[in-house]
Every structure is written in C-alpha cells, then in structure tokens.
C-alpha cells in the first residue's frame, strides 16, 4: 500500500514536469521570463537608490536605504540632516523622473511601431510641443480643476497632445498615404516650430507667469512632489497596460498597416486607442516634467538592438530602460555643474540629437 | 458562392475606375483577373480587401463584407499584396506567426498547438524552415514575398486574394509561387482570386478568368472561354497569340546555339 502512493505522486510529478517542459519547448516564449523582469526591476531600484544618494550633498547608501525603509513601514524616523533632503526633495523627484522616463520611452516605442517609423517620438513629431501649448494656455488663462491644482494644465496638455497628434497625422496622410519616415518627421518639425512660435507669443503676453511657462519649454523635474509622483504613476500604469495589451497589434503595424489589416487587426480601432493612450501619457508627462526631448527616440532604439523589434519584449524593456536612463540623465543634470542645475532636457537632447542623426543615416543606408 | 460582387463600381469624382462589375467565385476555383494597365484589376482587389469606397455589393458567403468583424473577415479572406519594405528586423517566424492573429482569443489566451501546426505547415510549404530565425531585412525579394505567402497560408483563409504577388520577381520564383498555390488549392479545396499580368500564367493555372478593360467586364467564365483570341485582341488592341508565338519562336531559332544551354 505504501509504495504505490509514492509512485503515483512521483509519476504525476514527472508528468507535470515533462508536460511543462514540452509545453515550453513547443511554444517558444515571446516575452521575457519572470527572472528577466525581476532583474530589470532590480536594476531600476538600484538606480533609484543611487540617484537618491548622489547629488550636491552625498548621502551614504546605508542611511538612505534605512531612511526610506523606515518611511515605508511607518517606523519612527531618525532626526538626521538627510531626512528632508532624501524624503522631501530627492525621493519624490527621482520617482517622478523614473515614471516620466518610462512613460516617454514606452510612448516612443509604441509610436515607432504604430507608424512603422524608427524616428517617431513625442518630441520629433511635435506631440510634446502640442502638450506644452495646452499646459501653458491653462496657466495663462488660469484653467484649473477645483481640488486638484495641477489638473487644469494636465488635462489641457492631454487634450492638446492628442490634437497635435491628429493634426500631424492628418497632414502626413494627406501628403503621403504610406506615411514614409521623412514626410512625418518633416511635418513634426514644422509643427514643433509652429508650436514654438505660439508658445513665444503666449510668453510675451503672459507677464509675471513667464517663469512657470519657461519651465515647460525646457523640461525640469526639480520640485516634484509626491502628488506628482502618484499622478504620473497612475497615468503610467493605466496607459502602459493598454499599450502592452496591444503588443501583437503593434507588431503587425510595425510590419505594415496593410499587412495588419489583412491579418485581421481592426486597424482603425487599435490606432485610435493606442494614439489616445500615447497622447494621455505624453500629456501627463509634459505637464509634470515639461518637454523632455528624445527619450522616446533613444531608448526604444537602443532597446531594439538588444531585444529585437517584437513588442512583447520591446515595450517592457523600453519601460525599464527609459526609467533608468532618465534617472541617470537627471542625476547628471543635477551634479555636472553643481550647485547649478541644468534643465534635464539639455542632457537628453544632447544625447538624443546625436542618436537621431545616427538612426537617420543608418536607416537610409539600410534601404537598398 | 464564396465571394460575389453585384454591380461593383468605383468612382473618384467624375472618373469611373470600375463600372458595374458582377462576378462570383465558387469553391475550388482559381480566378484570374486579367486586362491591360488601368483596366481596374487592382481596384477590384482594393474594394474587396481594403474597404476602398465603392458602390454596389460585395458578398462573402452570402453576407455583406462590410458587416464582418475584422478578425472574422481575416479567417475567411487572406490577401497577399505586392511586397513592401519592412523597417524592423522581425524574424521570418514572427511574421508568419502573425498570420494566426485572427484566431487568437482575448488577452489571456495563449497560443494553441493548432496555431503551431499551421505555422509549421506554412513554413514547410514555402520552404522557409531553415530561414525561420533570419531577419526579414536580410531576405531577398523572393524570400521576403515567400514569408508573406507563408503568413497568409498560416492564416488559413477560405479564399485567397493575390494582388500581383509575383511582380518584380524572377521567373523561378513566379513558377514556385504558382505551383505552391496550386498545390495548396488541391490540398485544402480553397479558392483563389489573383490579379495577373502574365496571360500564360493565367491560362496555365486559372480555372476561371475575368477579362477587364477600362473598368468594364469584357468576359468572364472558364479560362478557355475567356482568354480567346478574339477577346484578347479586342482588349489589348493587338494579336496577343501571334505575339506570344513570335516570342517563343525566338527560342526555337536560337535553340542550337543558345547561350543558356
């Protein structure tokens, strides 16, 4: 009686394992394994801690970690000099930066897939500029939502980001149905200039609000609060979930819109949903961090070299890479001329414009 | 009837591209749409496959094609277009797998073994097994087109529409493609509609043909009845048979000292 029982368990276990193995061999995994996700999360957390520690005043890692840990579990905080720097200034800022980086990066990756265009990005297409017009209009005319101070600029930024995207795409489609790389970038550049002129016009008339407005044109995350962090975190969670759920459709679009239609993708619906998610996320990012250029261009491009173009891998990897990149860029902008602080957009644009030229040239050469 | 069009017309402004074309496609038929440039061949395909604006009716299995959901339609209708550039380095297998998109359920459904089998068979049929992990960017024109052919075969449609798939491709590939599709019809009993320029190919592989000229249907029916000397001469404005014979005779004269021997 005793042996069969063990034997049955053994056989069942073996069947489970082999079955599981066969299953795994049969369907090759398209996405990442849980371990890969764990490692990427770890990388983001390490970067976060590093960026919180470093700065004009360096705080030992051990103190930082214990301080944050105690704050999280609600224990009594030691009354050190670092407390306010870490918990009130750097931590909310770095979290915001991480989310903005992840947001801009996944938006760039999704746009590049949807439009089949490796140069598409919130900044190159002029979506970010559109969003800043909205945010600035809201400030200049005092649009606000009662009870949620940043709500006005944020909502306006989202609406204008979407409008900008619609205008740019409508113009591009009229010119060239296949939406070739060059057409859409050209229209994006023109739209950015147009948006720039409108922003300058508003600045001229804005008077005392000039300083707040200038912030949007340069991009900076200094002075971010936990409210900001929660807002961008929530927007990111929702929009990223939407975009990730469309990985397969984005693969189809990346191969070609007609091909997507032929295999049964509801092209119109998917496009609309993805574009709304992208504009919403870019809108929120811009209303919190201003226009931070090129993150969505550089990061997905570099990620694609490692993961390949399959969005099941590209989108998640872009999220993590974007967060790490922007946190480091923000750190650089804080320390490079310390105690002066550079706008973060200066750092990202510097790296980004060089990458843009590189991609542009290599993609032209590749087309034979 | 698999596919049926009733009084299909396409107009852009005052310009009539397609004028009152009615035809139907039955099971196991391979319909060749032929005619000179500008006859409206591709316009038919665009109206049926891409929802380009048209008047009249297009019925698929007796139901208006506009009433189908996109995935439903993709399970019935597969389209192989002229190959276009791909910008990203997807692997051959990734592209072919996308052909199963219309069969995927909701968010959480995983690929079934069934999907795998269709992908494998499509790769096998098109001879792409060895290239499955290769990037589509590195493929030759013929290989790339075969990849998309594999994709549409994995899609397992009841009706396959080919929009000049062998344009710009060399003779060997043309022959391969047509032979391959022919065996697919024999194996699965499905139907094919294709737009072709090459009348010999149309005659060799088609069961039925539609002859178009300036947007009008000149003749339709079994290939032998449509591609007659009179019909072709009137449509192309020259004696096509004579021309082909003359072309062939070039080879016969040359046979003794042909450089290709």
| Model confidence pLDDT, tens digit, residues B66-96 | 889 999 999 999 998 877 778 899 999 999 9
State residue A95's pLDDT score: 95
Determine whether the interchain pair A363/B110 forms a contact, defined as Cβ–Cβ distance below 8 Å: no
Q: A132 in contact with B at a CB cutoff of 8 Å?
A: no
pLDDT of residue A217: 67
pLDDT of residue B199: 87
Q: Which domains does chain B have, with CATH numbers?
A: 3-227 (3.40.50.300)
Q: What is the DSSP string of B106-131?
A: SSSPPPPHHHHHHHHHHHHHTT-GGG
Q: By the CB < 8 Å criterion, does B78 face chain A?
A: yes
Q: Which of A314, A268, A248 is nearest to A105 (CA)?
A: A314
B69 contacts chain A (CB < 8 A):
yes
User: How many CA atoms, within 13 angstroms, populate the side-chain half-sphere of residue A354?
Assistant: 6
* Residue B50 clears pLDDT 80, i.e. is over it: no
Which chain B residues are within 8 Å of A248, Cβ to Cβ? 98, 101, 104
Residues facing residue B34 across a β-bridge: B211
> Do residues A344 and A338 touch, judged by C-beta distance below 8 A?
no
pLDDT at A26 over 60: no
Question: What b/e readout covers B159-195, taking b as 16+ CB neighbours within 10 angstroms?
Answer: bbbbbbbbeebeeebbebbbebbeebbeeeebbbbbb
CB contact under 8 A, A255 and B95: yes
Using CA atoms, how far residue A150 sits from A97, A157, B216, B240, in Å, is 17, 11, 62, 74
Is residue B204 over pLDDT 70? yes
Q: Is the pLDDT of residue A50 over 70?
A: yes
What is the average pLDDT across B141-156?
A: 90
Q: Report residue A212's pLDDT band, with 50, 70 and 90 as the boundaries.
A: low
Mean pLDDT confidence for A92-112: 95
Q: Can you tell me the mean pLDDT for A103-126?
A: 91
**Please, which residues 21-60 of chain B have a Cβ atom closer than 8 Å to chain A?**
49-50
ipTM for this model? 0.87
Residue in A181, A252, A264 closest to B73 by CB? A264
Indicate yes or no: CB of A27 within 8 angstroms of CB of B110: yes
CB contact under 8 A, B75 and A116: no
DSSP assignment of B142-195 equals HHHHHHHHHHHHHT--SEEEEESTTTT--HHHHHHHHHHHHHHHHHH--EEEEE
| pLDDT tens-place string over residues A260-286 | 999 999 988 998 999 999 999 999 998
Q: For residue A69, with 0-12 CB atoms within 10 Å meaning exposed, 13-18 middle and 19 or more buried, which class applies?
A: exposed
Interchain CB distance below 8 Å, B50 and A259: no
| Residues of A whose CB is below 8 A from B107 | 245
pLDDT tops 80 at residue A33? yes
Residue A24: pLDDT above 70?
no
Return the CATH fold of A47-366. Answer: ABC transporter involved in vitamin B12 uptake, BtuC (1.10.3470)
Residue B172 C-alpha, separation from nearest chain A C-alpha, in angstroms: 22
pTM over 0.95: no
Yes or no, beta carbons of A264 and B113 under 8 Å apart: no
- Averaged pLDDT for residues B133-141: 90
Helix (H, G, I), strand (E, B) or coil at B23: strand
pLDDT, mean of residues A84-92: 87
CB contact under 8 A, A265 and B99: no
Q: Is the pLDDT of residue A368 over 90?
A: no
């Amino acid at each position: 009686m005793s042996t069969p029982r063990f034997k049955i368990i053994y056989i069942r276990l073996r069947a489970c394992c082999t079955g599981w193995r066969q299953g795994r061999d049969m369907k090759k995994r398209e996405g990442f394994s849980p371990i890969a996700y764990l490692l990427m999360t770890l990388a983001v957390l390490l970067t976060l801690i590093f960026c919180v520690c470093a700065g004009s005043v360096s705080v030992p890692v051990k103190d930082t970690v214990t301080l944050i840990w105690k704050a999280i579990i609600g224990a009594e905080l030691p009354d050190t000099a670092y407390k306010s720097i870490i918990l009130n200034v750097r931590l909310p800022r770095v979290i915001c930066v991480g989310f903005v980086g992840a947001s801009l990066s996944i938006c760039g990756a999704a746009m590049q897939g949807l439009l089949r265009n490796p140069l598409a990005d919130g900044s190159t297409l002029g979506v970010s500029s559109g969003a800043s017009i909205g945010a600035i209009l809201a400030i200049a005319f005092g649009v606000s939502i009662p009870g949620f101070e940043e709500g006005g600029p944020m909502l306006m930024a989202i609406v204008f980001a979407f409008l900008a995207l619609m205008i740019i795409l409508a113009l591009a489609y009229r010119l060239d149905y296949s939406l070739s790389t060059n057409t859409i970038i050209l229209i994006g550049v023109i739209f950015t200039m147009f948006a720039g002129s409108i922003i300058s016009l508003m600045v001229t008339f804005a008077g005392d609000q000039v300083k707040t407005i200038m912030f949007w044109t340069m991009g900076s995350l200094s002075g971010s609060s936990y409210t900001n962090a929660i807002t961008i975190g929530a927007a990111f969670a929702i929009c990223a979930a939407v975009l990730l759920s469309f990985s397969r459709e984005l693969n189809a679009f990346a191969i070609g819109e007609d091909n997507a239609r032929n295999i049964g993708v509801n092209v119109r619906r998917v496009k609309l949903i993805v574009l709304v998610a992208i504009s919403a996320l870019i809108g929120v990012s811009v209303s919190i961090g201003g226009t931070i250029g090129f993150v969505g261009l550089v990061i997905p491009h570099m990620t694609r070299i490692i993961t390949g173009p399959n969005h099941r891998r590209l989108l998640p990897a872009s999220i993590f890479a974007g967060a790490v990149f922007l946190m480091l860029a923000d750190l650089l902008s804080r320390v490079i001329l310390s105690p002066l602080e550079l706008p973060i957009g200066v750092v990202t644009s510097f790296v980004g414009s060089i990458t843009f030229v590189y991609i542009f040239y290599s993609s032209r050469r590749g087309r034979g | 009837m698999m596919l049926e069009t009733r009084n299909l017309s396409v107009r852009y402004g005052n310009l009539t591209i397609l004028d009152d074309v009615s035809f139907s496609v039955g099971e196991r038929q391979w319909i060749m749409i032929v005619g000179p440039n500008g006859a409206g061949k591709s316009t038919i395909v665009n109206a049926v496959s891409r929802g380009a604006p048209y008047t009249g009716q297009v019925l698929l299995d007796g139901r208006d094609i506009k009433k189908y959901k996109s995935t439903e339609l993709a399970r019935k209708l597969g389209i192989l277009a002229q190959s276009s550039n791909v910008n990203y380095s997807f692997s051959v297998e990734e592209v072919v797998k996308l052909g199963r998109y219309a069969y995927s359920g909701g968010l959480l459904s995983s690929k079934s073994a069934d999907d795998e089998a269709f992908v494998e068979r499509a790769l096998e049929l098109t001879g792409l097994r060895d290239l499955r992990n290769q990037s589509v960017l590195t493929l030759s024109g013929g290989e790339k087109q075969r990849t998309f052919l594999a994709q549409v075969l994995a899609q397992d449609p009841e009706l396959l529409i080919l929009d000049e798939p062998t344009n710009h491709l060399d003779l060997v590939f043309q022959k391969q493609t047509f032979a391959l599709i022919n065996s697919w019809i024999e194996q699965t009993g499905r139907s094919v509609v294709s737009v072709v320029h090459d009348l010999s190919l149309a005659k060799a592989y088609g069961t039925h043909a539609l002859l178009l000229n300036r947007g009008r249907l000149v003749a339709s029916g079994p290939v032998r009845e449509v591609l007659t000397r009179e019909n072709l001469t009137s449509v192309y404005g020259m004696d096509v048979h004579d021309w082909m014979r003359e072309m062939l005779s070039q080879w016969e004269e040359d046979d003794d000292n042909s450089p290709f021997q």
